[in-house]
Amino acid sequence: MQAVAISYESMTYDEVMKLSSSERIAMLRVRARIKKQIDEEMKKK
């Protein structure tokens, strides 16, 4: 899962635009989940 997230993070805008809408939604969900995890880690410290 992490590897997928990394590849999404490094994608250019044009590459993102080539994705189908379902792929784009999945990508946004992954990003949101990662952001949430990071936020929770920050709260613990």
Which run of H or E residues covers position 10?
A: none
> How far is it, in rounded angstroms, from Cα 5 to Cα 14?
17
**pLDDT at position 24, please?**
80
Q: Please name the amino acid found at residue 34.
A: I
**pLDDT at position 31, please?**
85
pTM of the model: 0.48
Question: Quick check: 6 and 31 in contact, CB under 8 A?
Answer: no
Residues present in the chain in total = 45
Q: What share of the chain is helix, strand, coil (3-state, %, to 5)?
A: 85, 0, 15
**pLDDT at position 6, please?**
55
> Which residue segment(s) compose the domain that 28 sits in?
2-44
pLDDT digits (tens, 9 = 90+) for 1-45: 455 555 666 767 777 778 788 888 888 888 899 889 989 989 987
In the chain, how many domains are there?
A: 1
